[in-house]
Amino acid sequence: MNPEDYDPIAAALKEDIGDGDITTEFFVPERLHATGRIIAREPAIVAGTAAAAEVFHKVDPATDVQIHQSDGASVVAGDIVIELRGLARSILKAERVALNFLQHLCGIATLTRQFVDAIGSHPAKILDTRKTTAGLRALEKAAVLAGGGVNHRSGLYDMILVKDNHLAALRGLSGFADQIRQLRKERPNLRIEVEADDLEQTRAFVEIDGIDIILLDNMEPAQIREALALRRNNIKFEASGGITLKNIRRIAATGVDYISIGALTNSAHAIDLGLEMTHVQD
């Protein structure tokens, strides 16, 4: 299957509904109509409303979905995020899958906003990584944007990132500058980033023309400052590894351009949201 053909919402519905929602089909009258409201039960940043709406529409295109809080909005407990009108059966069939997407994506947006707020006035941009849930990368990266973060590369195909294992396969930096020069010639529109594990590597990389960004991996603030002092040719620096809400302000205060955080997408807790059915009528 071509990855571009993958539909995570259709896959989630097939996984959940299978041959049919036997509970709803047995207990809920076929033509019963209802109103449903998805309500926040804790403070959060909203994300994933379009995905949730699509879940309801895939189950039943006739379901009326009104989004009350757009992605990026701040909500508190009791706020209505989405309101639904339609067949009760349709709303119930779509409920869990829609909430799964919405709770997960709101969690990512909320955690991202916490990191963005934690750096205060420092200009560093908060980046996501490829540490995403299989099949959900586009949705999760959209949630990072909703939280005020910035997307790193989408995948292996849209940016060069030479990491430590690539360098290990090269068995050293001999000829690396020539490879970067050739790469820049062949793929002039791609950004080129290289990972440095220490200041010695950083010194070597800043002397190589064609590198756009140096990723400073697991470096302490003092080391990051030393690395930034080596800057030339408008090269950018990214800090990564071991970044938490407790230490991110110190990292940002070094003057680093970017801070990438895998936890945004792989460690965010699901936001507590619930769907309440009201105005049930024949």
| Catalytic (active-site) positions | 96, 131, 163, 195, 217
DSSP for residue 27: H
Closest CA to 39 of 94, 127, 106, 87: 106
Classify strands 258-260 and 236-240 as parallel, antiparallel or unpaired: parallel
Q: Would strands 213-217 and 236-240 be described as parallel, antiparallel, or unpaired?
A: parallel
Distance (Å, rounded) from C-alpha 279 to C-alpha 60? 19
Order of strands across the sheet with 273-281? Answer: 64-67, 80-87, 33-40, 273-281
How far is Cα 183 from Cα 177, in angstroms, rounded to an integer? 10
Query: Hey, what are 129's tokens?
Result: 């990584």
Name residue 80's beta-bridge partners: 39
Structure tokens at 126: 């908060």
Q: In the chain, what is the greatest distance between 2 CA atoms, to the nearest angstrom?
A: 76
* Torsion sign, CA atoms 257, 262, 263, 269: positive
Nearest to 93 by CA among 225, 277, 244, 258: 277
